[in-house]
Amino acid sequence: MRFLADMGVAMRIVEWLRTQGHNTKHLHEEGLQRMTDNDIFRKAAAESRVLLTFDLDFGEILALSRERTVSVVLFRLHNTRTPHVVERLKVTLEETKQMLESGAVVVVEDGRLRARRLPLRQ
């Protein structure tokens, strides 16, 4: 899969995804740390990447965009230490891979996942 990691996502998570064979970019690596949320979302769409973020604004951006193909993985974790995030992401990818490939929003919490296919209805 192809991923775009927002600034709040640790580089070690990006590195783990790469070791799993995923094509993953981090905004910081591309010098885009000051990019607006809307531009980040458009970049993910243009590059057909799943957006990884801790930023709740992307759920709203996705809903308002009525986009059908961009997927967002939104982390809502109390424990944001990298090993825990990687473990939750591993479970997320195992359980929602097909949805993410076709357009979905997946909210990752400490004890559960919530996934919705796109487009989102308001």
The CATH code of the domain that includes 100 is: 3.40.50
Q: Residue 58 has what pLDDT?
A: 82
Q: For residue 56, what are the domain limits? A: 2-117
The confidence band for 66, taking pLDDT boundaries of 50, 70 and 90, is low
The confidence band for 60, taking pLDDT boundaries of 50, 70 and 90, is confident
- How do residues 72-119 score in pLDDT, each as one tens digit? 999 999 999 999 999 999 999 999 999 999 888 999 999 999 998 877
Which pTM does this prediction carry?
0.92
Closest by alpha carbon to 72, among 95, 92, 100, 110?
100
Residue 122 has pLDDT above 50, yes or no: no
Say which residue, 78 or 67, is predicted with more confidence.
Answer: 78
Say which residue, 121 or 68, is predicted with more confidence.
Answer: 68
CA distances to 3, 13, 62, 71, 109 from 65, in Å: 19, 27, 5, 12, 24
Query: Which residue type, as a one-letter code, is found at position 41?
Result: F
- How do residues 6-24 score in pLDDT, each as one tens digit? 999 999 999 999 999 999 9
Answer yes or no: is 105 within a domain: yes
Answer yes or no: is 122 within a domain: no
> Which 3-state string (H, E, C) describes the chain?
CEEEECCCCCHHHHHHHHHCCCEEEEHHHHCCCCCCHHHHHHHHHHCCCEEEECCCHHHHHHHHHCCCCCCEEEEECCCCCHHHHHHHHHHHHHHHHHHHHHCEEEEEECCCEEEEECCCCC
